[in-house]
Structure 1
Amino acid sequence: MSESTVGLHPLTYVRHQHGWSMEGLARLLTLAAQRRGLRMSPGRDRIYKWEHRRAAPGADYQMLLADVLSIDQADVLRTGWPWWLPAYDAPRPLTAEGTRAALTEVLVALEHPDRRKFLALTGGVLTGFALDWATVEPERLTGALHGRRVDSILLAWLESRTDELRALTNASGPECAVLVHALLRTSVQLTRTGVYDEPTGRRLLKVVAASSQCAGWLHFDQGEHARAQHHWHAALHAAHSADDRDLGAGVLSDLAYSATWLREPASAVTIIEHALSRSRSPAVSSLLNVRRARALAVLGDHSATERALGAAETDLGRALPGTTPAWVSWMSPADLHVDAGRCRLDLGRPAAAEDALSEGLGLLAPDRARTRSVVLTYRAEAALLRHDLATAAAHTRKAFDLARTTQASRCIELAEATVDRFAAHRSHAVVAELYEYAGR
């Protein structure tokens, strides 16, 4: 998707995807009506009004559009106009209507995971979304006019389960997916159908945001980047509506991390700058600065990277016990050292990288197997740059073992990519053993 398409109405984008003019789409709708035995013949003017938001198509015309686009009629009824159209995945506006649409889309995706593939959001789109988050104030919350009142005991239970599941996914991600999705589904449904006052609604939306953020990481670890972004998009909407700026900043940092991973580090830097403008917790600011350092290192900016790492260390030192949000409580000196090591690798300083990575690995909690696997691949890369094949091969084997136990595609693929770095030394005995171990 090019940035020039972002402002288009979804129906306009769909037409462009298929190469249809307005007249051409009108002819296809007429044929669809004939197949259903209906006397309907829309012209160009009607389609023009739909695309320029002067009017939404009636139920019959939406039915015909769905026929033309091979979309299940149930999706049309469930999602509503224009969100059911298979257009580009652009962020929904940070309004009450946009948030309802974003959460509905997540609910549909949970119930129908194979409905359609999502497209990854471009860096330009994400930076615009981050700017909106930093400048748009949340609207007043209202619950449904009819339905069951949200039970306070149930809400407290959902909040406690959110924190527990976040901790569990660090060690048993794939096994926890069903539980995370069930929590997300329940909390979204309550926001749509429950009766609640504004404080209760904000608590409920924080559960939605946290569980959707957690689900995003589960998809990210399996290499499903577009689906991860889709969940983080919904999480940001929920956090914004709940007026939890720190949680929203954390979700933006996830989107920025994803952008760096997908080779858009400049967009990541801009996203994080917007997030920093509204964050409040020192631990959250530390996380943001670490991820800013990672993006700056990929861009090759030595001095800015070191400044960001220094700010992250200072911020973490200001975090007081009991004041750090639960979702970022994992942030520790170990993470600072690990990310500093990765930054120095990207900046071509393998010796300094190894010092930081070794210290970070020593401080890392034993249950963080995925992070440990990733760090071992970094240490292998640093050893290779120092021409220490034996040490590099040993680190890679350990990374493989851990990656396989986590079942995280991201970790397994990173370990496999590390093996590829040994290609020029394949005739060496320790490298030959590594290739045999990796099944190459």
Structure 2
Amino acid sequence: MDLDRHPLAYLRRRHHWSGDDLARLLREQARRRGLRSGIDRNRIWLWETGRATPSEESQLLLAAVLGVPGAALEQLRWPHWLPAFDQPAPFSPEGSRAALREVQITRMDRRSFLVLSSSTLIDIAADWARIEPRHLSQALDGQAVDEELLTWLEQRSSELRALAARPHPRVSALIDAHLNTAIDLLVQDRYAPAAGRRLHAVAAELAHCAAWLRFDADRHADAQRHWQAAVHAAHQAGDRDLAAVALSDLAYQATWLSRPADAIRVLDHARSRARTAAARSLLDVRRARACAVLQDRHGTQRALTSAEAELEQMHPSSTPPVISWMSIADINADAGRCWLDLGDPTRAGTAINSGLSELDPRRARTRAVFLTYRAEGALQDRDATAAAADALAALDTALASGATRCVDLASALIRRLDDRPEPPMIELREYARERLAT
């Protein structure tokens, strides 16, 4: 194992500890517990190079030094419990199980304040793109999982995916419960290869849904962890499109978090393995969004043109459920956002109007986002009445959807209007204060 890539070496460098420093901290921790320890820098070196594994006692001492709850050691095993947030798990059966187990930890998230670094986000995509063509590991073998339970999980995951598209106060808990069941079955490792692929497909689909619910709730670190788990599980299931879509979601989040350059590099890797036209169309749209933020007009137009061309090749019979919602409405409305970023509000308004008119009315969260974009375009066009009307509609739609991300987007736009004296803006601010106070 490469010393620079071992999570313990990464943590030690991040804390500016030498091998002697960490060994001293571990010995001090042992003394506090009334124990004796002979840990020295050579022992640390053996752990970091993979030549030795710390004993259970040493791992408990290390967890205390790093502030990691002891429960994580049993749940994630060495070295996956180490809080080296940008050390992606390998695309192997063991690594994928570790990524899935990570989302099961229900204690206070030791990494809730962190999001994947640029290099790690891109490494995850690059690793998947590089390893995906290889034959999937045959190590997932053993006793068959009960067929009735497996079929039931598949049916429920499909129903929960449909529920997740609409506001529902209990859907997140239901998805988490079913995801935990799938992960428990996977970790037990008692299934035939065919059943293992089906179980991983269930886990991938549920992790993907759970990630979006967390993203909509502005829980970005948690969303990233679930999308990463979805990529791993989809890889083990042999589902290239679901893995590519989950990577595209990570890229979309990167653009949302003002990291468009990261998004483009992730999307390049994801598109290299996408199988269907619908998946490639989505990847192109998200590339256009990132290019627009970077003020790359040529790149934006090229990506949008490609997205439309791919969508024309989309066939319902060959389109996986995870991307079946993709439509010209999404391309048009996202194109409108691109033209807004590129300073062309008139062209943006035309595209967003087209997208909104064609959008499935059940997609409330998407509608709230697109209405906010249209309000911003009207604001750039100096149409206070239209901007206020769209901002109000966006806020109402976002509140009805229950998505914090959408509410925050609409609220942020309304806050930008605080110094506008026009009557429609004054009425909008008063209305927003009343709605947000309830």
Normalising by structure 1, report the TM-score. 0.93
The residue that corresponds to 1:299 in the other structure is 294
Once superposed, what is the RMSD of the aligned Cα atoms?
2.0
In 2: Cα distance, 1:32 partner to 1:301 partner: 53
State how far apart, in whole Å, the 1-side matches of 2:25 and 2:79 are: 19
3-state DSSP class of the match of 1:322?
Answer: helix
- Counterparts of residues 404-415 of structure 1 (less than 5 Å): 404-415=399-410
Tell me, in whole angstroms, the C-alpha distance in 2 between the residues paired with 1:321 and 1:412. 33
> Which of 403, 410, 428 is the equivalent residue of 1:434?
428
Letter in 1 for 2:316: P
Q: Matches of residues 7-406 of structure 1 in structure 2 within 5 Å? A: 7-108=4-105, 111-117=106-112, 119-136=114-131, 137=134, 139-143=136-140, 145=142, 149-172=144-167, 174-406=169-401
* Post-superposition offset of 1:195: 2.3
The answer (yes or no) to whether the contact 2:111–2:221 under 8 Å persists in 1 is no
How many residues matched?
431
What whole-Å deviation, never above 9, does each CA across 1:16-67 have from its counterpart, x for those lacking one? 3444332222222222222333332211111121122221111121122223
Structure 1, 156-165 or 64-73: larger mean CA deviation: 64-73
Cα distance in 1 for residues equivalent to 2:118 and 2:18: 29
Q: Is the 8 A contact 1:143 1:193 kept in 2?
A: no
CA shift, 1:413, in A, is 0.6
Q: Which moved more, 1:5-14 or 1:351-360?
A: 5-14
Fraction of identical pairs, as percent = 48
- Tell me, in whole angstroms, the C-alpha distance in 2 between the residues paired with 1:116 and 1:124: 17
Q: Secondary structure at the match of 1:41?
A: coil
The residue type equivalent to 2:340 in the other structure is: L
Q: Conserved in 2, the CA contact under 8 Å of 1:143 and 1:192? A: no
Aligned counterparts of 1:273 and 1:63: Cα–Cα separation in 2: 41
Write out per-residue CA displacement over residues 369-397 of structure 1, whole angstroms, 9 at most, x where no aligned residue. Answer: 11111111111011111110011001101
User: Offset of 1:6 from its aligned partner?
Assistant: 11
Deviation by residue 1:307-337 (Cα, 9 ceiling, x = unmatched): 2111111111111122110111111121111
Provide the C-alpha distance between the structure 2 equivalents of 1:307 and 1:67, rounded to a whole number of angstroms.
52
Q: Secondary structure at the match of 1:142?
A: coil
Partners of 1:120 and 1:7 in 2: how far apart? 20
How far has the Cα of 1:154 moved from its partner? 1.8
**For each residue in 1:349-383, what CA deviation from the matched residue of structure 2 results, as whole angstroms up to 9, or x when unmatched?**
11111111111111111111111111111110111
Distance 1:420 1:31 in 2: 52
Deviation readout 1:152-186 (Å, 9 max, x if unpaired): 22212211222221121111254310011011101
Distance in 2 of aligned mates of 1:202 and 1:113: 31
Please report how far the alpha carbon of residue 187 of structure 1 lies from its aligned counterpart in structure 2 after TM superposition: 0.7
SS at structure 2 position matched to 1:171: coil
- Cα displacement (A) at 1:122: 2.0
Contact conserved, 2:136 with 2:238, CA < 8 A, in 1?
no
Contact kept, 8 Å, 2:234 with 2:240, in 1: the verdict is yes
Matched position secondary structure for 2:372: helix
Q: Which amino acid aligns with 2:43?
A: R
Q: Secondary structure at the match of 2:137?
A: coil
Do 1:163 and 1:327's aligned partners in 2 also have CA atoms closer than 8 Å?
no
Give SS of 1:88's match: coil
What 5-or-longer segments of structure 2 have no aligned partner? none
Distance 2:231 2:108 in 1: 21
Cα distance in structure 1, aligned partners of 2:118 and 2:40: 37
Q: Measure, in 1, the Cα distance between the counterparts of 2:28 and 2:268.
A: 51
Check whether the contact 2:418–2:429 (CA below 8 A) recurs between aligned residues.
no
Aligned partners of 1:258 and 1:63: how far apart in 2?
35
Post-superposition shift, 1:116?
4.7
Alignment-mate amino acid for residue 91 of structure 1: P
- The CA deviation at 1:293 is 1.0
Over 3 Å counting, the alpha-carbon distance change for 1:208 and 1:346 in structure 2 is same
- 1:133-165 deviations in Å (ceiling 9; x for gaps): 1111354243465xx631222212211222221
In the alignment, the residues of structure 2 paired with residue 430 and residue 117 of structure 1 have an alpha-carbon distance, to the nearest angstrom, of 39
Is the 1:88–1:119 contact (alpha carbons within 8 Å) kept by the matching residues of 2?
yes
Letter in 2 for 1:287: L
Q: CA deviation at 1:246?
A: 1.0
- The superposition leaves residues 96-121 of structure 1 with CA deviations (integer Å, 9 ceiling, x where unpaired) of 2211211121222xx32545525211
